[in-house]
A and B are shown apart, each in its own frame.
Chain A
């Protein structure tokens, strides 16, 4: 099992063209758990940690779009300029594992793994982010909604590297909330990102379906109300509608019933926070 450590994107994509079954890793925080527990015996690994282009991020105020390279660690998103630009992403980043995990883990890893419990993914969905992919001979950009196609399944082709994401900022409030079995170091049982842009509410759910779910019915309903005057009954009704759009299952982490309930409570809470802000 050889390990390659390319120092540029073009080197990475040619290596991948040569070794199409290679496993791509950045922090490796998910991957190594599987290796340590003998669930995975990869033949070839390409580590993307040393590629400068994938460690870049920038905030383009003119276009209102934030670019985050696929290897930027969550620790960088928790505070500072990125947190000011994308508060919901900062909140989601702060719930990822522990400080040690956040120093290594990245959005590229969340996108590559594409678990419905990936903490950054509901944020990408609610903020209409797009995913940048590159192979040795082509580049393309997909909306997040077309990128994630199932639990741990995405539209990345075997010869493509996820290079980064572009995330449009919002001109209204945005926030993220998550339920786990305790307050730190947990994989999400249910999570919600709510964002308001041009006085329009968007809401995306994690861990309650095969993919991240954008609640189009709940969104149309709440956007037909006056969101400058949300009372408790409207917020609760919004939560109920969000619950109805979730498609949770029972698994080792929780039950479908609890998840359906939790995601509604979180959505109600976020709507109240966002519209009273």
Chain B
């Protein structure tokens, strides 16, 4: 049993103490406002836009709908942890190359969703890509450039694997 007035979260492999927090705060709020990890974006705060997507114990979820204090003891991964040396991942690079970024607000959530998809399925078809990204709203691109970026990652990974 654990009761948390003060608690500690494991984010990108590191322990982060959280102090003086109202315990109803969402994980999104705690990440951004208390732990200095503003990569996850907050827009709808009701799980509709996907811009706050993080992984909790390897499941991609909306951090705005996770009560932060209930994530104690779980492995939390955010967009900041995708590449710790400051370089871009292949997915991030493909977003840049293919012009999949306009205002950029949805990009961290989409990058997290794409990595999650490709970690579990290295050759998704078009329908599977669309379904996997159906929880991430982009109001700029119309998704065409985003799907192109995903396609390019899939083909580059395939050709480098063979």
Report A's interface with B, CB cutoff 8 A. 1-7, 11, 15, 25, 27-29, 31-33, 35-37, 41-42, 45, 47, 49-50, 73, 75, 97-101, 103-104, 184-185
- Whether B62 pairs with A73 at a CB distance below 8 angstroms is no
Residues of A within 8 Å of B47, CB to CB, are: 29, 33, 97-98, 100-101
Residues of B within 8 Å of A104, CB to CB, are: 59, 61-62, 65-66
Residues of B within 8 Å of A29, CB to CB, are: 47, 62, 65
Q: A4-B3, A100-B47, A184-B135 are in contact. List 19 more A-B contacts (CB 8 A).
A: A2-B4, A3-B3, A3-B4, A3-B70, A4-B2, A5-B1, A5-B73, A11-B1, A15-B1, A27-B61, A31-B67, A32-B65, A37-B46, A47-B70, A50-B73, A100-B60, A100-B62, A100-B135, A185-B48
Q: Which of B21-29, B94-102, B142-150, B153-161 lies at the interface?
A: B21-29
Total A-B pairs, Cβ < 8 A: 109
Q: How far is the CB of A119 from chain B (nearest CB, A)?
A: 14
Chain A CB within 8 A of B64 CB: yes
What's the interface size class on B, roughly? 20 to 34
- Whether A101 pairs with B3 at a CB distance below 8 angstroms is no
- Known contacts A47-B67, A49-B70, A73-B59; decide if A5 and B2 are in contact (CB<8 Å): yes
* Distance in angstroms between the alpha carbons of A104 and B50 in the assembled complex: 13
Q: How far is the CB of A148 from chain B (nearest CB, A)?
A: 24
Residues of B within 8 Å of A35, CB to CB, are: 24, 26, 67
Most A CB within 10 A of own CB, among B22, B45, B59, B136? B59
- Known contacts A1-B22, A99-B132; decide if A6 and B1 are in contact (CB<8 Å): yes
* Distance in angstroms between the alpha carbons of A25 and B61 in the assembled complex: 15
List 5 A-B pairs, minimum CB-CB distance, nearest first. A98-B135, A47-B70, A3-B69, A103-B59, A32-B65
Residues of B within 8 Å of A1, CB to CB, are: 22-24
Chain A CB within 8 A of B107 CB: no
Report B's interface with A, CB cutoff 8 A. 1-5, 22-24, 26, 45-48, 50, 53, 59-62, 64-67, 69-70, 72-73, 113, 131-132, 134-136
What residue in chain A is nearest B112 (Cβ atoms)?
A100
Residues of B within 8 Å of A185, CB to CB, are: 48, 134-135
* Distance in angstroms between the alpha carbons of A36 and B47 in the assembled complex: 11
Residues of A within 8 Å of B72, CB to CB, are: 5
Residues of B within 8 Å of A31, CB to CB, are: 67
What residue in chain B is nearest A185 (Cβ atoms)?
B48
What residue in chain A is nearest B109 (Cβ atoms)?
A100
- Known contacts A25-B70, A36-B26; decide if A100 and B50 are in contact (CB<8 Å): yes
Residues of A within 8 Å of B131, CB to CB, are: 99
What residue in chain A is nearest B27 (Cβ atoms)?
A32
Q: How far is the CB of A59 from chain B (nearest CB, A)?
A: 22
- Whether A36 pairs with B134 at a CB distance below 8 angstroms is no
- Whether A45 pairs with B67 at a CB distance below 8 angstroms is yes
* Distance in angstroms between the alpha carbons of A160 and B139 in the assembled complex: 44
What residue in chain B is nearest A1 (Cβ atoms)?
B23
What residue in chain A is nearest B70 (Cβ atoms)?
A47
* Distance in angstroms between the alpha carbons of A33 and B48 in the assembled complex: 10
Residues of A within 8 Å of B61, CB to CB, are: 27, 100, 103-104
Q: How far is the CB of B144 from chain A (nearest CB, A)?
A: 17
Q: How far is the CB of B76 from chain A (nearest CB, A)?
A: 13
- Pick from B2, B46, B48, B135: contact of A99, CB under 8 Å: B135
What residue in chain A is nearest B57 (Cβ atoms)?
A49
Residues of B within 8 Å of A103, CB to CB, are: 59-61
* Distance in angstroms between the alpha carbons of A15 and B3 in the assembled complex: 11
* Distance in angstroms between the alpha carbons of A97 and B53 in the assembled complex: 14
Q: How far is the CB of A63 from chain B (nearest CB, A)?
A: 31
What residue in chain B is nearest A7 (Cβ atoms)?
B1
- Whether A3 pairs with B135 at a CB distance below 8 angstroms is no
Residues of B within 8 Å of A42, CB to CB, are: 24
Q: How far is the CB of A47 from chain B (nearest CB, A)?
A: 4
- Pick from B23, B70, B134: contact of A28, CB under 8 Å: B70
